[in-house]
A and B are shown apart, each in its own frame.
Chain A
Amino acid sequence: MLAIVDYGVGNLFSLSSSLKYSGIASVITSDASVIEKSDRIILPGVGAFKDAINKLRQSGLDKVILKEAEKGKPIMGICLGMQLLFEKSYEYGEHTGLGLLNGEVIPMKGKMPSQLKIPHIGWNKLETKRENEILKYLHSGDYVYFVHSFFVEGENENAVAVTDYGLSVTAAVAKNNIYGCQFHPEKSGEVGLSILKAFNEISI
């Protein structure tokens, strides 16, 4: 059973539906014992970094996730959920993240060419940087759906796929049992569903 961590941010309907559609059994939960018993974990998230990390800490779920990560359980962060895996974010201030991945989340504003609109919203092309099992069904040049205003630079050591939005943006990350997508696999059509499928097939 795959556990979708529910810590009170965002709408989990689409994510849960897309897993169901792909034949993947999942449960939306904030219960530590359910997360501990699961065989893999998805950390979703929309909204602000500070609010999200505070909610994770207040509920004690941060410690649960860190413990499961240490055990080697596959964990995937989506969108803000991916950003939370990093050490630090500069989204309206400076906030520490879960620290499972080295690197920082920084604002697009001021970094991207000024004619580009922020947030980065829409279908953009994936470029594979490194082979990884989470990308096994993908073809370089596949399109996925992004919605975000803060990002991890494409040069990050954990980036396995990037996209071009004036400069290189980290699109997918992987390090041992820790995975993440900046884009929304649950909104990226067949390509997105294939990433969820690949995550579900990672051997434990």
Chain B
Amino acid sequence: MITKRIIPCLDVKNGRVVKGTNFQGLQDVSSPVELGKYYSSCGADELVFYDITASAEGRKLFTDILKEVASCIFIPLTVGGGINTLEDFDRVLKCGADKVSVNSGAIKNPQLVKEASEKYGAQCVVLSVDIKRVDGEFKVFAKGGRENTGLEAIEWIKKCVALGAGEVVVNSIDTDGVKQGFDIQMLKAVRNAVNVPVIASGGAGNAQDFIELFTQIPDIDAGLAASIFHFGEVEIPKLKKLLNKNNIQVRL
């Protein structure tokens, strides 16, 4: 049967991998190509490359780097950041991406999810959602977590899955960067609402948090994290062995 996936996420700005805490205070970590190769060889099940550059120049640089990464990484590659049109899908798919993640682009134009799904297949379209609790309700945030869209998160996710999103990445702003564990309550709510794969993001601080995730929500599909992998606080080969020991099926 299909294994649970462990996914490192690489935020790329001006050709370098960065990762902030609560989306602020970015810190340079390493080269995307070197980190990508490292993860690919140490048992990561998939890589996510996120372009957090705003300028056209930065976008061009990102595309070049993406091509370089894709030519030496032979595991599935998901690319996001700045995806607003079908042309953006086309641009990153031609560079070797297997899946494309949409976030603000879908909020601006939900039809993008439908059109991309019809053109490239649902397996190619990943909905990424930044969610924060506001007065006890799950709200969708845009612009890297800075702007409350007012959209209710579960309804928004259901709508996008109906439009053709084949997978959902749930990033809890409330737990992101805090390293106190995944947002189990939020993830359960999403998991119960849709029947496509759901990827948990935001909050992992150690290996135990992944065990907790897959034990508390047995039908969650994957756990995603960034800095704890980049800084070696959690080593993927050790993590996967530990998961296996806890009867969680992973690719060893």
Binding site for B on A (CB under 8 A): 11, 13-14, 17-18, 20-21, 46-47, 117, 119-125, 143, 145, 147, 164-165, 186-190, 192-193
Contacts and interface: CB of A to CB of B under 8 A. Distances in A.
Interface string B174-208: 00000000000000000000011100000000000
Given A11-B94, A123-B45, A147-B123, A186 B3 contact: no
Contacts of B95: 13
Interface string B63-106: 00001001110111000000000000000011110100000000
Nearest to A20: B71
Chain B's interface size range is 20 to 34
A192 B74 contact: yes
Tell me the dominant secondary structure on chain A's binding face.
mixed
Nearest to B252: A143
26 contacts: A13-B67, A14-B74, A14-B98, A17-B70, A17-B71, A18-B74, A20-B71, A21-B74, A117-B196, A121-B2, A121-B123, A121-B166, A122-B2, A123-B2, A123-B5, A123-B251, A124-B3, A125-B1, A143-B3, A145-B76, A147-B123, A165-B2, A187-B76, A187-B98, A188-B74, A188-B75
B150 interface: no
Contacts of A121: 2, 123, 166-167, 197
Interface of B: 1-3, 5, 40, 45, 67, 70-72, 74-76, 93-96, 98, 121-123, 166-167, 195-197, 221, 251
Tell me the dominant secondary structure on chain B's binding face.
loop
A146 to B, nearest CB: 8
Residue among B94, B98, B122 with the most chain A CB within 10 A?
A: B98
B204 to A, nearest CB: 20
Contacts of B72: 17, 21
A123 B6 CA distance: 11
Residue among B2, B72, B74, B221 with the most chain A CB within 10 A?
A: B74
A187 B74 CA distance: 5
A187 B2 contact: no
A195 B103 CA distance: 36
A18 B70 CA distance: 9
Contacts of B251: 123, 143
